[in-house]
Amino acid sequence: MTTITRLFAMWAALLVAATFGAPAESQSQAPEAPPRAGDIAFSEYTLENGLTVILAPDAGSTAVAVNLWYNVGSRHERPGRSGFAHLFEHLMFQGSENVARGEHFQYVERAGGNLNASITEDRTNYFQTVPPERMNLALWLESDRMRSLQITEENMAREVEVVKEERRQRIDNSPYGTSNLQANFYAAYDSASCFAYAHSVIGSLEDLDAAELPDVQEFFDLYYAPNNATLTVVGAFDESQARELIDEYFSGIPGGSMPPEVRCEEPFSHLPVEMEVPDPNAQLPAVWVSYGTVERSHPDAPALQVLGQILGTGESSRLHQRLVRSEQAALQVFASSSPRLGPGVFQLIGIANQGVESDELLRLMDEEVERILEEGVTEEEVERARNQVRSSTVFGRQSVMGRAEALQTANHFFGTPEAVRTTVERIEGVSVDDVQRAAATYLSPENRAVIFTRPGSAQEDR
């Protein structure tokens, strides 16, 4: 695999997940027998302090996933304080009252488990997969840091430097890194009306340098309370025992104040936007197109997902067949709907071949979009997309952690874990007409930000 191909795969994963940290599914134990798509038996209840609990015992499993989502991501940050949610993804492993710095990893790994965390614009998750007899350990570790995280000047200063170095490596000194931020955040959203999505998950160097301990402590107290969290346990455990342990470890943690609602009004009123991004780290021109769309729970979201697969997901997609195979104008090309808790984006990304300018790449992309607007898509293409969703759903739920993430995703983005049962059905209901209508509604030149990456020049640090 070439360096450009590896980088493109990384950007595609970032586009789909917008996540800093390893994907939860990749951290789980060996796959188990897959359930039917959408078929996860679970129970749900809420502790008096507001903690939502979802339990999905499965006698056929060989492990237990303990998965904790906090309703906090970069969308909850305010101007001048970007990067706080990402900072806490690191700080949460720096010790609590009964667990020293780094011991969270040691305890879980010595017990035969694995763990990690990840963050997006919309949520932060902390997760571990452990042997059934050590479920109590994972629950206790999560409760201890929720109750008594050690937020000190030393810990904060150290992790700020870690995050700053991560930004330098992943964004500032990485090919196309700044273009990616412009396409996903800075240019795609209006910062005046929707700062929530108009800044990056990783945060700016200036805001991280300006971070002060009282502000960081206040952020933790507001967003890392039980009433702002959902605990999901999936796998080989007895439900009555799990309820007893959860009550023992979590019920005594005080609930906090309700966080303020996130404002995001008219996020795309500034569009259209077109800009060039000089990039000394890039070797080839590139073009990034971001169309303003809808939230994940919107009725049009499934049709946009199908449109992304038809237009630019995989070698059979229209963009790949035209730009890569036929015209040989692009080294890589990709399209995807990226829905969020708030308004999302539909993106096209292309890396030009040698001798091809990004302007030409955009022209070819636009022609393929126009073909869909004028001619629509075929039933065969829609059915292929349905099959892809069906198979990915089943595959994603083969592991206990995959099922935990599916329940968390349904609860967070649709307001109820019951939505896990209709993942495939939402796609099954998409028609040929739905796809063409969605394309006509959102894929307009007046509703997009276009970023041209120009290689070989100094770039302005954001």
Q: Annotated active-site positions, please? A: 89
Determine the Cα–Cα distance for residues 221 and 201; give it in Å rounded to an integer.
Answer: 20
User: Phi first, then psi: what are they for 327, rounded to 5°?
Assistant: -80, -20
- Contact present, 63 and 29 (Cβ < 8 Å): yes
| Rg (alpha carbons) of the chain, rounded to whole number | 22
Cα angle for residues 189, 350, 387 (degrees, 5° grid):
90
What residues have CB less than 8 Å from 371, skipping those under 6 apart? 318
Determine the Cα–Cα distance for residues 138 and 64; give it in Å rounded to an integer.
Answer: 9
Determine the Cα–Cα distance for residues 364 and 382; give it in Å rounded to an integer.
Answer: 22
